[in-house]
Amino acid sequence: MSAVNPPRLALWLLMHLGPAYRREALAGDLVEDFRQGHSHAWFWRQVLNAICSGVSSSLRRHGGAGQMGAAVEQTGLAHHSREYRSLLLFLILMCGFRSAWADWVYVPTGSMNPTILEGDRLLVDKHVYGLRVPFSLVHLTAGEDPARGDIIIFDSPRDGTSLVKRLIAVPGDSVAMNGEQLIVNGALARYAAGDESELRTLLKATQGHEPIVLRESGVLPEHDILLIPNRRQGGLLGPVTVPPGMYFVLGDNRDNSADSRYIGFVPRRNIVGRATLVLVSLNRDRYFLPRSGRLFSSLY
């Protein structure tokens, strides 16, 4: 999963409060860098740094305290300061809350089909694995340890892109895959026919591959996975032992997911939070109308 559009609120703040001499150029540079794979946290840090830089530059241009007072009256800076101060404080607090406590994320890809669909907006509990310094990966508290079966949001160890996957193995676990069969600590996952009605919720392009839904259990809490016969991953993976401080993740769409088979283990500090439910789901096959039955639906 990767958010493809930068936060509109951040761009609005930058265009109104950023350095006056290069607002448009700076906004364009940040948007381009964001679309290359940088995370929301990185984007917000750059925006806030730019705003602080713009305010500092304005103060320096007006010299000392006495001169600044006169300059502020002439330029209307005091008026704008009073007008935006409360709003800016509210926005900073709200963004800090979203960064460190809870947030919602948009899912543009199908790597977690059929559990999570393209167009889902997920509620993410960010403090469950430990409270973090806003806009950073620095933890203030330990929190719970991520557990097998959790659906986690994390920054890719390869390029920093925000991803959503299912946690399969924790530090010290042995994990392997024999074709499509998952093996954790020597125990083989069990498979049964899944809920075929879930196939109707998939995008038409995915349905065209005639996928199969299976119910996976035994080594993880029961959940459905998706297999695509003409893309089936073959061969043997592992067994490998998950190093300390690392985690092994897979997408529920096993044949169409860039997960630990390709990006490697996920460091503990890269895990941002646990996805808990679908707030709303917009179907791009139907002009982005909401999907029925997915409003505030649990992921577990």
Would 109 be classed as within a structural domain?
yes
Would 3 be classed as within a structural domain?
no
For 48, the enclosing helix (H) or strand (E) is helix 40-61
CATH number of the domain that residue 129 is part of? 2.10.109.10
Specify the number of domains making up the chain. Answer: 2
**CB under 8 Å to 30, separation ≥6 — which residues?**
6, 14, 43, 46, 47, 50
Distance in angstroms (rounded) separating the CA atoms of residues 292 and 98: 27
Nearest Cα to Cα of residue 255 among 237, 235, 232, 238:
232
Same domain, 69 and 214: no
Determine which one of 165, 257, 260, 281 is catalytic.
165
Instruction: Quote the pLDDT of residue 10.
Output: 60
**CB under 8 Å to 65, separation ≥6 — which residues?**
none
111 is catalytic: yes
Would 2 be classed as within a structural domain?
no
Range of the domain at 252: 103-298
* Amino acid letter for position 198: E
Q: What is the DSSP secondary-structure string of 174-191?
A: EEEEETTEEEETTEEPEE
Start-end of H helices in 62-172: 65-75, 77-100
Block mean pLDDT (10 aa), the chain, length 300: 54 62 59 66 67 54 46 50 65 63 86 97 90 71 91 94 96 93 96 94 94 96 93 73 97 94 94 94 93 93
Would 213 be classed as within a structural domain?
yes
Same domain, 142 and 287: yes
Instruction: Quote the pLDDT of residue 74.
Output: 46
For residues 242 and 248, the answer to whether their CB atoms sit within 8 Å is yes
Instruction: Quote the pLDDT of residue 294.
Output: 94
Would 270 be classed as within a structural domain?
yes
Q: Which of 63, 80, 100 is the last residue of a domain?
A: 100
Distance in angstroms (rounded) separating the CA atoms of residues 194 and 171: 29
Same domain, 63 and 189: no
Same domain, 32 and 83: yes
165 is catalytic: yes
For residues 159 and 33, the answer to whether their CB atoms sit within 8 Å is no
Longest dimension (CA), the chain: 77
Would 1 be classed as within a structural domain?
no
Instruction: Quote the pLDDT of residue 92.
Output: 67
Q: Which of 100, 126, 146 is the last residue of a domain?
A: 100
Same domain, 107 and 231: yes
Q: Tokens for 63?
A: 């010299």
Q: Is residue 18 exposed (0-12), middle (13-18) or buried (19+ Cβ within 10 Å)? A: buried
Same domain, 129 and 93: no
Same domain, 130 and 174: yes
What contacts 24+ positions apart, CB below 8 Å, involve 44-48? Answer: 44/7, 44/10, 44/95, 44/99, 44/135, 45/135, 45/136, 47/10, 47/11, 47/13, 47/14, 47/18, 48/92, 48/135
Determine which one of 58, 111, 156, 260 is catalytic.
111
Nearest Cα to Cα of residue 146 among 273, 299, 298:
273
Same domain, 260 and 221: yes
Same domain, 185 and 260: yes
Would 202 be classed as within a structural domain?
yes
Q: Tokens for 198?
A: 């879930």
Instruction: Quote the pLDDT of residue 183.
Output: 96
How far CA 71 is from CA of 52, 81, 193, 252, 267, in Å, comes to 19, 13, 73, 60, 51
Same domain, 134 and 70: no
Q: Helix 77-100 to helix 40-61 angle, to the nearest 10 degrees?
A: 160
Same domain, 178 and 271: yes
Q: Which of 100, 125, 157 is the last residue of a domain?
A: 100
Same domain, 194 and 263: yes
